[in-house]
């Protein structure tokens, strides 16, 4: 895992077309903005886990 330090309004580039920008830091919470192509899915970990769990159970998630 790569660990980087960033401040508000600073950006990290992943590959050639994914940008992760630190929008706000407030206490122990960090708001980030992710700019990625439409064909790249972006989910919070708990949502990703639920989608995988549901797909293993045979439930179609939209």
Do 26 and 32 touch, CB atoms closer than 8 A?
no
Report how far residue 57's alpha carbon sits from residue 55's, in angstroms, rounded to the nearest whole number: 5
Which of 45-49's residues contact partners 24+ apart within 8 Å by CB, and which partners? Answer: none
The string of pLDDT tens digits covering residues 9-61 is 999 999 999 999 999 999 999 999 999 999 999 999 999 999 999 888 775 65
| Overall residue count recorded for the chain in this entry | 62
Q: What is the pTM of this model?
A: 0.78
CA–CA gap between residue 58 and residue 15 (Å, rounded): 33
Local structure of 15: helix, strand or coil: coil
């Amino acid at each position: 895992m790569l660990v980087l330090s960033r401040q508000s309004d600073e950006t990290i580039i992943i590959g050639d077309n994914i940008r992760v920008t630190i929008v706000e830091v407030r206490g122990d919470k960090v708001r980030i903005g992710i700019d990625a192509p439409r064909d790249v899915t972006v989910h919070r970990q708990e949502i990703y886990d639920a989608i995988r769990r549901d797909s293993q159970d045979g439930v179609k998630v939209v």
